[in-house]
Amino acid sequence: MIGGGYLTADFLEPNIGATMDITDLQFPDNSFHFIYCGHALEHVPDGRKAMREFHRVLTHDGMAVLLVPITAPQTIEDSSLTGPSHSGQEDPKVGA
């Protein structure tokens, strides 16, 4: 926690407020007024599932800021593409 009402989270980093998978958020519906997700969506196999989870846990008037790198002139939605050629950056290595 950072002060009252803030939660930090990461999938791999243990020294953060919570370890969590953004495709399976362990919070009830309508739990958050604001979500900031910085450069994580491009690393999950199912970004749509993550966005559905964000929508589920946001309040009706909540807001999400979802940052992703855009390094190509055109967006290509193809789940078979992975790695740096797809997102423009290396995926973090578990246990590295």
Residue type, 23: T
Residue type, 17: G
- Maximum Cα–Cα distance for the chain, whole Å? 41
Would you state the pLDDT for residue 55? Answer: 97
Looking up tokens 């999938």 gives 11
Would you state the pLDDT for residue 27? Answer: 94
Which CATH number, 3.40.50.150, 3.40.640.10, 3.40.50.620, 3.30.1330.60, labels domain 9-73?
A: 3.40.50.150
For 19, the 3-state DSSP assignment is: strand
Contact 37, 51 (CB under 8 A): no
Would you state the pLDDT for residue 45? Answer: 85
Would you state the pLDDT for residue 30? Answer: 97
Domain-by-domain residue ranges, the chain? 9-73
Would you state the pLDDT for residue 74? Answer: 79
* Run means of pLDDT, 10 residues per run, the chain, 96 residues: 72 85 95 92 88 96 92 74 53 46
Would you state the pLDDT for residue 1? Answer: 37
End-to-end CA distance of the chain: 25
Contact 75, 47 (CB under 8 A): no
Would you state the pLDDT for residue 70? Answer: 81
